[in-house]
Structure 1
């Protein structure tokens, strides 16, 4: 062994041989205290109990794993490699991402748990009520959305393209949230110093619209992200886009593209042009502020931005862009427009009573004829716009023989006022109420040619006056109605009793309360135009009850019938002979009385005018064998018009509408076939002046303040001065007569009336009969031929004499003049 240097400490070794050297060896470098130079006490090193091959192997493994430590021999251990900055950054970033992801998952799970259970199922779209005409044409959509849902294939392709271009360009590539879009929005907002762009995807917007409240807070935003991710896993991109377009709000009460297209452009979503689609897409940023009904210029400016985005995305070419941008800004109507919306409102008012709560989309089939509806709207608006007599509003109702409402106009312009004056306004009808007085009188024994006396009449404290404050002496009942003589109507009301007149009016369809008072003869109790028009319809259809109705059938979108109007034959409420006489008398109102402006070429027209005190209300209700139509004109505030009477502007409106409604139809007479056989000359006043048509085509009801109060003691039979006493009658006009009729003398050719005058007729009691020529021209004698008087094999051919009346049933399913529609309804 080589001699050691002087003073060098000999270190101990353990074991012997090579194995011990490898196993454990201590050098001077392992000492804690330097070997040189001190006399400090030294502690004997204690041998390690775990020294040996096993210990060495364990240390070697630790060294390999941790990269440091000695090798157990005299060799110098390898130096540990130092990590660079990038490696440390990656290690830290990985750790942060790992724990951040765990925290994010936990946060999402927390807010997901807080979502209500129903948030995990897409709620049904609010039900839509699609209202169509009798021919199936769309009239309106009603419901919370204002329009039905449409598929992507059913709408204009420009709509989804425009929406994606301005709201979510990467819609088909992201997974519900768009990180790039969020970064872009953050950058744009930072540059602008304000929120000018959002980072929400269409999926997020759908989640917000369908599931969440509009609150702006971190919890709602996180829930929006959760639901967007869920929607992307549950539905396809096309399904999400379709749901979005059918549920997003476009302003002005329109939810969904179909409702918006109808609202702003009055067309279906499938017909929307490029420029219109850009406008709709632009509304999504601020539906109320950018609405073309409020600010068309702002809406157009936003639409141009949408067009630019579509051009950048190569969804349109330069030519399409220029053409659409060149379109002028147009102000949309401020509200739904069109008279058909009055009918739609009525449907929504009644639908719950017909089918209960609407929980799914339904289709309501109405009785409205859209062509007639447009004609009616045009007649009302054109007449009011051209009038200079201080008239601002009007209404029109037209029904057929079954009571089906074919047209209804509730005001001058629906967009301006949605109040339905045809249904909800109650007004005094004036003389338009008189037909019910005359019908009651006919049922109690009077006849059209019965002579009554137009003279000063006193009923309690009330003295009814005619329009011109003149009296005409003896006149027939028919002439009194044709020229709307107030004195005669009052006399007849007293004779038959106001209660009987009220009963007749209610039987015909008047539902409004009627005061039991003689003044009802002049129409002082308020009614609606709809019920008054419906009450005239039995005269046109042969005596059947004609209750106005609007809904034929209600189905769901699959065609399942939820409601259908029955086809039961309504009851007969007016005897056929009464119908014939009323039609004859009301026809004379139009041919020679106050309603001459309502005449139609080739058609038999009957009707009645009505005017109230101070010209506040003017009415005309008339009918043909085809339609019964009522018209009202006036002002909502009750302001007087300038001498507008029922025979002037209302008759003009009626004529304008009915002329269009009857165009191309074959003319048909009214039912009844009653002919009084005379064409009366104009009546003259008692002063002897020639009328020369001096009637002002009007009649005015007296001031209601001058009427006797309802509590006046008129319970006893009225004894009006000059009134015609009532003939003997039965309480039920359709029951067998309990009172034997007055015996009649044999008819002679000289008898101009064809029957003996009824008892009490003025001009026959206590005074000589006036010459017939002073009352009316001579006419042929009336002959009555009953069916049981005919031979069983008789065949009637040729022309029936004008005075003949055939009574009894007729074979063949009804009169040849019955309309086909009416035949179909009642059979035959």
Structure 2
């Protein structure tokens, strides 16, 4: 130590120069060594290439890959640098031989560079091959050997070597020239790639094939001589043909690639996509697109989620259409009119709040609410239908009436909790049309919500009747990202498991597309809770379904919003939904969440909790909150004569002659439509003529609707025709008296259709039956 100090003291200048040299040597290598822009690359969960975006400089240069296949290592080392694993970054013997040959020839004929030196030259952009530049490369090569392992240096070389044209790096070359991953290449293919960086111009299609073939085969012979490969492998390898033209880079998920590139440009990203499923889903979309485009429907989006991991398994942002029809638009996250796709959310909300049981009868009658007139898709009415059937049949009128009864603001509050990002305005902006497509959402958010519903059920049964606090979280398409479901709690996150289960039981009964109409009779059929939606004007067709394990969402339409006849959820989107589900493994049906349900007697006819008057009851499991619902209001106690032909009372018969019976009675307007589709429905008998009738009879207008504006039709001769008013009365043979603006205009009995021709303007229509009951309706006659 003292000697060193003495030397430094005597040789300060030399010491300073030495120190500066050491510092320069230590920092002579830039970090990172290569700064060239790279392509954005996405891989599937199983390592398959899904797609890539070319680098900004127009080169197919994939991000550096530390994994170099053993076959390529053997080929490149035996071709370029047999002593690679032994030298310190340069090979003195090779340099001496190269120097001797170059001096004797009077020009640079041989380089003598090791793979380490070639890596440095690649990083320095192939500067002129002078002896001075060689010296710099040599120094930097020794520094590179100190910084990195031999395998790392080899991976840097393989990732940045030129392979002809605009192909840089082994990974890109394997896909461009052989259409496969580097680890799947044969010995002959690896040998072909190993000789290319030395002469990249040989790869051009149709040119220099003989020279390239000779170089490859010489390398294969060398591998045979060195006993790297056996004779059979050699003989088979030399028979393999050379690549004739570049393959296109796979583009299995182009829209997901664009989405990832926005935040991960120039990186290689491993996604959660399953390559086989992605390929098959693409084929399903392609086949359906070829059919749908005949009807000028050009865009399709499909999303598949894993319920348990909340990972994206397949992502098809659009159909393989053309630029004229927005093929580059990723529809999955675009706002579109929802149609009926959110009806299950309302059904679940009403059940969760305890306002209804799943099979409770709801009115399906002509409805006008503040000028809004919802209609069912088939333009018909059922009078009364169970809420479950209303959902499975996607009836609009019961849904709107259900929303009005439940409360628009109340339902809007639930939707905001679901974080549907495209619902941006307040509840009054949407009104009651909210449930029929008056609001917009996107396929991502809707699938996310259905996945959270399914996961809530799964977790509730798996975690001893507990809920996760972050159940309604964002899905992920990144393989390495872990989903945080939050902490466990006895408190529900948004909806209780019982309400979700009963909603799914209803959705399971949705009729499938026509070609699958007998699905329910096959034991092997998949049980799927699913829903379709069709937006106003036939602009959007939706289908979303879920099993215990998967959620599949489908949107079909035109990205520019053009509507088309036949663009209906069950016809356009549902077949794609079931084609995709056919690609997925079968799932068991959801387990019943017993701790959130109770078995109670239910009135068979009304779906309400059974009262003492309900003659037919069933034991059904209902959600806990449903225990507070009222008992059946539609069964009444009636007094009949002995033949049960007429109603009677004490004014005309003694109590001993009366037959007392429970009777299922609907309100008049519901009854009017209900009995048309339910022939076994028995109307309440009339009172016998000699009995004093009781004021319990009711009636209601069928037409016109409240505060409606009516235009009188004209015939072919130009004469103005009458308008026909319709009334429903609970007493089939009752006489009704009609008044217009308090002026008597006539009476009806049995069938209460009455034709009048009022003058243009506002009028008051009044009806009074023979028992003194009265109903009124205001209308306006247009000119």
Taking structure 1 as the reference length, what is the TM-score of the superposition?
0.54
Cα displacement string for residues 168-199 of structure 1 (whole angstroms, at most 9, x for unaligned residues)? xx999944985766898999999xxxx99988
Tell me the distance in 2 between the aligned counterparts of 1:386 and 1:607: 23
Select which of 382, 394, 397 maps to 2:300: 394
Tell me the distance in 1 between the aligned counterparts of 2:376 and 2:303: 29
Q: Compare the two structures and name the one with the higher strand fraction.
A: 2
1:175 and 1:232 in contact (8 A); partners too: no
Residue 437 of structure 2: aligned partner: 523
Residue 271 of structure 1: aligned partner: 184
Return the offset for 1:149.
Answer: 0.9
Tell me the distance in 2 between the aligned counterparts of 1:631 and 1:677: 38
Residue 310 of structure 1: aligned partner: 219
Cα distance, 1:668–1:298 mapped onto 2, change above 3 Å: farther
Select which of 509, 512, 516 maps to 2:422: 512
Cα distance, 1:741–1:432 mapped onto 2, change above 3 Å: closer
Return the offset for 1:609.
Answer: 0.7
Residue 227 of structure 1: aligned partner: 140
Tell me the distance in 1 between the aligned counterparts of 2:539 and 2:126: 50
Return the offset for 1:658.
Answer: 1.5
Select which of 550, 572, 587 maps to 2:508: 587
Residue 451 of structure 1: aligned partner: 362
Tell me the distance in 2 between the aligned counterparts of 1:268 and 1:320: 22
2:306 and 2:312 in contact (8 A); partners too: yes
SS in 2 for 1:589: coil
Tell me the distance in 1 between the aligned counterparts of 2:104 and 2:221: 20
Residue 494 of structure 2: aligned partner: 573
Tell me the distance in 2 between the aligned counterparts of 1:328 and 1:415: 34
Tell me the distance in 2 between the aligned counterparts of 1:767 and 1:238: 80
Cα displacement string for residues 453-484 of structure 1 (whole angstroms, at most 9, x for unaligned residues)? 34253544x54444455555544433333333
Tell me the distance in 2 between the aligned counterparts of 1:522 and 1:372: 33
Return the offset for 1:304.
Answer: 3.2
2:159 and 2:169 in contact (8 A); partners too: yes
SS in 2 for 1:651: helix
1:753-792 to 2 correspondences below 5 Å: 764=667, 774-775=677-678
SS in 2 for 1:334: coil
Q: Does 2:585 correspond to 1:662? A: yes
Cα distance, 1:441–1:122 mapped onto 2, change above 3 Å: closer
Residue 781 of structure 1: aligned partner: none
2:349 and 2:414 in contact (8 A); partners too: yes
SS in 1 for 2:28: helix
Q: Does 2:531 correspond to 1:626? A: no
Residue 248 of structure 2: aligned partner: 334
Return the offset for 1:407.
Answer: 1.6
1:176 and 1:201 in contact (8 A); partners too: no
1:724-743 to 2 correspondences below 5 Å: 742=630
Residue 285 of structure 2: aligned partner: 380
Cα displacement string for residues 136-185 of structure 1 (whole angstroms, at most 9, x for unaligned residues)? 666779998436312574746345446669x9xx9999449857668989
Cα displacement string for residues 336-368 of structure 1 (whole angstroms, at most 9, x for unaligned residues)? 4334x877877787899xxxx99xx9x97x765
Residue 702 of structure 1: aligned partner: none
SS in 2 for 1:590: coil
Tell me the distance in 2 between the aligned counterparts of 1:391 and 1:586: 27
1:615 and 1:643 in contact (8 A); partners too: yes
1:149 and 1:256 in contact (8 A); partners too: no
Tell me the distance in 1 between the aligned counterparts of 2:591 and 2:116: 66
2:282 and 2:316 in contact (8 A); partners too: no
SS in 2 for 1:513: coil
Tell me the distance in 1 between the aligned counterparts of 2:186 and 2:298: 37
Q: Does 2:32 correspond to 1:118? A: no
SS in 2 for 1:609: strand
Select which of 300, 310, 320 maps to 1:404: 310
1:434 and 1:521 in contact (8 A); partners too: yes
Tell me the distance in 1 between the aligned counterparts of 2:159 and 2:24: 24
Tell me the distance in 2 between the aligned counterparts of 1:232 and 1:766: 90
Q: Does 2:529 correspond to 1:612? A: no
Taking structure 2 as the reference length, what is the TM-score of the superposition?
0.57
2:80 and 2:114 in contact (8 A); partners too: no
Cα distance, 1:524–1:777 mapped onto 2, change above 3 Å: same
Cα distance, 1:484–1:615 mapped onto 2, change above 3 Å: same
Q: Does 2:370 correspond to 1:479? A: no
Tell me the distance in 2 between the aligned counterparts of 1:453 and 1:400: 37
Backbone CA RMSD of aligned residues: 6.0
Tell me the distance in 2 between the aligned counterparts of 1:189 and 1:641: 78
Tell me the distance in 2 between the aligned counterparts of 1:309 and 1:351: 42
Tell me the distance in 1 between the aligned counterparts of 2:548 and 2:360: 24
Tell me the distance in 2 between the aligned counterparts of 1:337 and 1:380: 15
SS in 2 for 1:379: helix
Cα displacement string for residues 254-306 of structure 1 (whole angstroms, at most 9, x for unaligned residues)? 8643464366546443432244224434653787x888xxx755696784364
Tell me the distance in 1 between the aligned counterparts of 2:105 and 2:232: 27
Cα displacement string for residues 753-784 of structure 1 (whole angstroms, at most 9, x for unaligned residues)? xx999xxx9x5268867766834979xxxxxx
Q: Does 2:458 correspond to 1:549? A: no
Tell me the distance in 2 between the aligned counterparts of 1:642 and 1:278: 58
**Bigger-Rg structure (1/2):** 1
1:409 and 1:422 in contact (8 A); partners too: no
Long gaps (5+) in structure 1: 1-107, 556-562, 681-732, 779-828
2:302 and 2:332 in contact (8 A); partners too: no
Point out the more displaced range, 328-337 or 309-318: 309-318
1:423 and 1:529 in contact (8 A); partners too: yes
1:162 and 1:310 in contact (8 A); partners too: yes
Tell me the distance in 2 between the aligned counterparts of 1:623 and 1:550: 18
Tell me the distance in 2 between the aligned counterparts of 1:679 and 1:216: 93
Return the offset for 1:445.
Answer: 1.7
1:109-188 to 2 correspondences below 5 Å: 118-120=27-29, 123=32, 145-146=62-63, 148-150=65-67, 153=70, 155=72, 157-161=74-78, 174-175=91-92, 178=95
2:400 and 2:435 in contact (8 A); partners too: yes
Question: How many correspondences in the alignment?
Answer: 579
2:44 and 2:274 in contact (8 A); partners too: yes
Return the offset for 1:123.
Answer: 4.7
Cα distance, 1:658–1:240 mapped onto 2, change above 3 Å: closer
2:504 and 2:529 in contact (8 A); partners too: yes
Cα displacement string for residues 183-219 of structure 1 (whole angstroms, at most 9, x for unaligned residues)? 98999999xxxx9998866443311334x35666978
Return the offset for 1:377.
Answer: 3.7
Tell me the distance in 2 between the aligned counterparts of 1:521 and 1:372: 33
Cα distance, 1:650–1:771 mapped onto 2, change above 3 Å: closer
Tell me the distance in 1 between the aligned counterparts of 2:445 and 2:385: 31
Return the offset for 1:645.
Answer: 2.3
Tell me the distance in 2 between the aligned counterparts of 1:494 and 1:379: 40
2:48 and 2:275 in contact (8 A); partners too: no
Cα distance, 1:240–1:596 mapped onto 2, change above 3 Å: same
